[in-house]
Amino acid sequence: MDRIVVSTSRERSLLSTHKVLRNTYFLLSLTLGFSALTATASTVFMLPAPGLLLMIVGFYGLMFLTHRLADSPMGILAAFALTGFMGYTLGPILSTLIASGAGDIIMMALGGTALVFFCCSAYVLTTKKDMSFLSGMMMAGFVVLLVAVIANIFLQIPALYLAISVLFILFSSGAILWETSNIIHGGETNYIRATVSLYVSLYNVFVSLLNILGFMRSN
């Protein structure tokens, strides 16, 4: 009797985990599509780039709102608002690349981003490895990135700028590994929060690849 109860409990846990994972990937695909639409509109209509202050307030404000509403249906709307805003911020970057004749860099960055996501997700999903040990390393990496970004605001060193982009890719790849592992091991049970976490990682990888490829092209 005890074995039946334990087996039933495990089956329910697996079903719940699969549901969260399925919903996360479904919502992620929708938000990526919506973000692509806003990025395209921002590029076509050549909308002005948001200032640093507006971008920080918009990103963290919408991020906070999404996490606050994650347990209600309104959290989905907040997630679309966040990803749509982030897509809009890509418009001026893409416009600059296209105007300079470097539009091929966009497709290369998209392909690289998709490859990073596929490899990281496939590794965790196939091995079922617990990546919780990355949490400490990621916290240290976040501090290093924060210091490097602040330093580069004042120093404006091209090599440091390139290094920051590489570090962002490594950090975001670790975040994808950690978040995917967190979902399949039951640590994350809210698909809206999981979606936003994965989206931000993909956004950072894409922008970092644009920076690196653009830097190489300019040289």
140: left (phi over 0), alpha (psi -120 to 50) or beta: alpha
- Give the whole-angstrom CA distance, residue 208 versus residue 111: 13
Per-residue pLDDT, averaged over 31-50, amounts to 93
What one-character DSSP code corresponds to residue 48? Answer: P
- Give the whole-angstrom CA distance, residue 16 versus residue 186: 8
pLDDT in tens, 124-148: 999 999 998 888 888 888 898 989 9
**What is residue 216's predicted lDDT score, i.e. its pLDDT?**
85
**What is residue 9's predicted lDDT score, i.e. its pLDDT?**
58
pLDDT in tens, 183-209: 998 888 899 999 999 999 999 999 999
pLDDT in tens, 80-125: 999 999 999 999 999 999 988 888 999 999 999 999 999 999 999 9
pLDDT in tens, 53-63: 899 999 999 99
- The answer, as to whether pTM is greater than 0.85, is yes
In terms of Cβ atoms closer than 10 Å to its own Cβ (0-12, 13-18, 19+), residue 91 is: buried
Instruction: Give the CA distances from residue 10 to residues 21, 130, 194, in Å, rounded to whole numbers and listed in that order.
Output: 16, 18, 22
